[in-house]
Amino acid sequence: MLTLSVFAIAMVELSGVSKTAIINKWKGDEYKSKYLATLPKTTISFTDTKFNFGKITEGQKVRHAYYFKNAGSNPLIISDAIASCGCTVPSYPKNPVPPGATDSVLVEFNSEGKVGHQRKNVLVKSNATMDAVSIGFEVEVMEKN
C-alpha cells in the first residue's frame, strides 16, 4: 500500500499538477501568496480604478468591467480578487495574461438591502510590481417605491 501511495504522489509531482491543484487545496491562500512572490514581476495598468453607477433602485444588480493591460514583459497572473463586502462579487481571468494583452476584472454589485450611498472596493492580487491594486465603485441606492 505504501508503494502505491508513493507511486501516486510521484506521478502527480511529475505531471506538474501538484503546484496548481494539490498544494493549493491543502495550503490555500498562504501558498498562493508565497508562490506568486516567486514569479517574475510584470506591470498591470488599469484603464480606470473607480466607477460611479449613479442612482439605482434597491434590488438591482449592476456590473462594471475594469479593463487592464499587461504592460510588462512577463505573463500577468491574477491570483485573487477580494471584495470588501458579500454584496460585491468579482470575477477575473484565471489564465495568465500575455505581455501586451488586455483583459478585465468584472465586478457585480447586488443592492438588495443596501439603501443609501455605497462605496465598495475589490483588492486585485497579482504578480505585478504593485502586487495589490484596489478598484472600486460608488452607487446611490434608492428605496423601492
The model's pLDDT over 53-95, given as tens digits with 9 standing for 90+, comes to: 999 999 999 999 999 999 999 999 999 999 999 999 999 999 9
Give the pTM.
0.77
Instruction: Encode pLDDT of 25-35 as tens digits.
Output: 434 556 566 76
Ranges of each domain in the chain:
2-38, 44-142
Query: What per-residue confidence (pLDDT) applies to 140?
Result: 98
Q: Is residue 72 within 8 Å of residue 102, measured between CB atoms?
A: no
CATH topology of domain 44-142: Immunoglobulin-like (2.60.40)
Neighbouring C-alpha atoms within 13 Å toward the C-beta of 129: 9
Per-position b or e across 57-79, b if 16+ CB within 10 A of its CB = eeeeebebebebbbebebbbbbb
Average pLDDT, the chain: 84
Q: Classify strands 50-57 and 132-142 as parallel, antiparallel or unpaired.
A: parallel
